[in-house]
Amino acid sequence: MMRLTRRYRFSALHRLLAPHLSEGANRALYGKCSNPHGHGHDYLLEVSVRGPVDAASGRVADARALDRLVEEQVLAAFDHQDLNAAMAAVPTTENLALDIRGRLLRSWSSAFRGEWPRLDGVRLGETPRNIIEIKETP
């Protein structure tokens, strides 16, 4: 098995706001991330795929097919967007990573037609010091 990882970047605006909580409770929960006018981040996204190395091509995946999938399903939806408008859930890094994972899995078979490669994981950095990782079960 080989794992291939590709890094992507996008920038977006968000405000952490749980709709069932008061302004005061949101402020207590999320601190400055709940400031009313929102703020932005340069997100760093790593998408990992895994599979056997194809004997004929010597590759585990077509990185350009992965690029197209991520561009169409993730970057087009989130780059330079307001995440509160683009997502149903509170746009924490956790929920954004889950949303990205869901988008990739829903369109996976249009990018990769065979049994392999499979999604191995999604790693999303809101800043270089705040990183969420979701690993798929092998």
Partner 1 sequence: MFITRQAEFSAGRVCRSTALSDEQNRALYGPAANPHGHGHNFVFEVTLEGEPDPDTGMVFDLKKLKEIIEREVVGPMDHRFLNQEVPPFDHVIPTTENLAREIWRRIQRHFGGGRVRLHAVRLYETGDLFVDYSGEAG
Q: Is 47 in the site for partner 1 (CB under 8 A)?
A: no
Instruction: Please pick, among 39, 71, 80, 133, the residue that the annotation labels catalytic.
Output: 80
Q: Looking at residues 52 to 91 of the shown chain, list those that interact with partner 1 (rule: CB under 8 A).
A: 53, 56-60, 62-64
What is the 3-state secondary structure of 53-114? Answer: CCCCCCCCCCHHHHHHHHHHHHHHHHCCEEHHHHCCCCCCHHHHHHHHHHHHHHHHHHHCCC
14 tagged catalytic: no
Q: How many CB atoms lie within 10 A of CB 106?
A: 10
Q: Which is nearer to partner 1, 90 or 122 (CB)?
A: 122
Q: Which is nearer to partner 1, 30 or 116 (CB)?
A: 116
Binding stretches for partner 1 (CB under 8 A): 1-8, 48, 53, 56-60, 62-64
Please list the active-site residues.
33, 80, 126
